[in-house]
Amino acid sequence: MQNIDYWIILAQIINFSILFLIFKKFIADHLNTAILERRKFLKKLEEADIYYNKKLEEADFKTKDILNKAKIDAKKLINQSENIALIKAEEIIKNANNRVNSIIDSWKREVEKERTTMLEKVKQSAVDLSIKLNQKLFDESCSTKSFVDNQVKKIK
């Protein structure tokens, strides 16, 4: 068998322990702390991602709800504006008809005045013509205007 030097093994164990303690003191503790901080940070990121996705879903739902309400309101507004437009159109047509009717009535009155005036002129011309004829055909008593007027009244 070979000689095993226990002092060398012991020195190796002591050297390994010293290296392990130096490693632990200067590197392992800092590395462990960094790893734990990194895990906490990743966990926060995952929680933030979950929270963000939840908020996105809520925002999408609210957006769809708002869009649906806006579409309904737009349809209501369109219907109301169509109704208002129909009412206004009917009102405009009614006013136009009233104006046309008033114009027609005023022209009818004007035409009636003109007709009456023309009839008076024709009547006056007929009376004048009758007077002239009576003067030529009859005596003075039958050629007066009052005589012709009385005769015209008898005809009516």
Residue 129 confidence class, pLDDT cut points 50, 70, 90: confident
Per-residue model confidence as pLDDT tens digits over 37-89? 999 999 999 999 999 999 999 999 999 999 999 999 999 999 999 999 999 99
Quick one: angle between helices 29-137 and 145-155, nearest 10? 120
Residue 140 confidence class, pLDDT cut points 50, 70, 90: low
Instruction: List CB contacts of 141: < 8 A, sequence separation 6 or more.
Output: 147
Cα 101–chain centre separation: 35
For 6-38, the DSSP string reads HHHHHHHHHHHHHHHHHHIIIIIHHHHHHHHHH
What pLDDT score does 155 carry? 73
Distance CA 84, CA 79 (A): 9
Cα 10–chain centre separation: 94
Q: Structure pTM?
A: 0.43
